[in-house]
Structure 1
Amino acid sequence: MNRLAEDQACWDFVVDLYAKPGVAQACLELQERLGVDVSLLLTALFYAVRGGLDLSAEQIEKLDRRISGWRAEAIFPLRRLRRRLKSGDLSSQPTDEFYRRIKADELLAEQIEISALVQQLEQMPGNPAAPSSRVVIERVIRHFAEASGQDASLVDDQTQRAISILHSSTT
């Protein structure tokens, strides 16, 4: 598959998965509590489910390192600004329009991140005996939980519930 088609297929998978019942809330919870990069998580899931790619902890770390600058310089500032505007400190029509633009730009920044991840993941060989999507979900979450010093949270009920929602939505 060519790169543009693969980018679109991955993006479509991410958007469709995120729209399934409970998935958005599970992703946002993992993002807030453990620092999980949802774009990386859902892109890894695409490659596990559709491409049989078994990402190791080292590969997840490498992907995260390669994308972390973009996340820090583009996505996080847009997210902070969008959340500030959403809090309603400056409620007005121009502010509402600005909020919508920032939200659209944040989404575009995430799409650019996914495209960069696709480019990296396309270089990795697939594995016909790839693990279940649950294993990939757990590996990605473990990476971010350990990086944020929250690795003890991997066994709590909220995290396990989020993992189960994501897993059941991909099978």
Structure 2
Amino acid sequence: MSADADDLWRFAVAVHARAGVENACLALQDEAGADVPLLLFAAWAAARRGVVLPAETLADLDSRLVPWRETVIRPLRTVRRTMKGAPPPHRDLETPAADLRARLKSVELEAERLALDALAAHARLDPRNTAKASDAPPPREAILQALRAVVALPAAGVADSWRERHLAVLTDAALAHSPLSVADALS
């Protein structure tokens, strides 16, 4: 794993662990069709690298994730979510069924980590993603722009206030893990 992939993973775990982020990510995923690994990647690029990825780049990266997301991540998520509400085949199997669901969640998380690793690898290979704009917006606005671009990919018709509320939660969490926000505050 590359240093970028490792940093991206640590960032994603730290951001996702902050209050409200899991619910915001799930809402954006389930209601707006946003890809959570791509959201976290875009936030990481803006927060840690000072790079707001162009919408075309995000669309290209998203298209590269589609086969993995559709054939691996979503089926795992569907089975895990289905198990949550389904009774086990026998009442004596409640604990083993809960253990199986926990293992599925772990496998789903590992599949999302591989998606993040792929995003880090693609971004590293694309020189368009490494240059910082000299007129880059302040860190909070950069993160928000990046997240808006990801949500705009699939989200035609999503109410702005609803979307912005969830994006603000994710933006604040990403900003808390951005060395750029510290530097900006000191200048």
Question: Identity over the aligned pairs, expressed in percent?
Answer: 32
Q: 2:143 aligns with which of 113, 128, 133?
A: 133
Query: Which residue number in structure 2 is paired with residue 106 of structure 1?
Result: 108
Matched, 1:168 2:172: yes
Query: Which residue number in structure 2 is paired with residue 11 of structure 1?
Result: 9
Structure 1 contact 51–126 (Cα < 8 Å) conserved: no
Q: 1:121 aligns with which of 114, 123, 134?
A: 123
Q: Which moved more, 1:126-135 or 1:59-68?
A: 126-135
Query: Which residue number in structure 1 is paired with residue 184 of structure 2?
Result: none
RMSD: 1.4
* Unaligned runs of at least 5 residues, structure 2: 176-187
User: C-alpha separation between the residues in 1 aligned to 2:54 and 2:79?
Assistant: 34
Quote the offset at 1:144 in angstroms. 2.2
User: C-alpha separation between the residues in 2 aligned to 1:141 and 1:114?
Assistant: 17
**Aligned positions, number:** 163
Matches within 5 A, 1:9-158: 9-90=7-88, 92-123=94-125, 124-128=129-133, 129-131=135-137, 132-145=142-155, 151-155=156-160, 157-158=161-162
Alignment partner of 2:153: what SS?
helix
Distance 1:152 1:94, change over 3 A: same
Query: Which residue number in structure 1 is paired with residue 179 of structure 2?
Result: none
The structure with more radius of gyration: 2
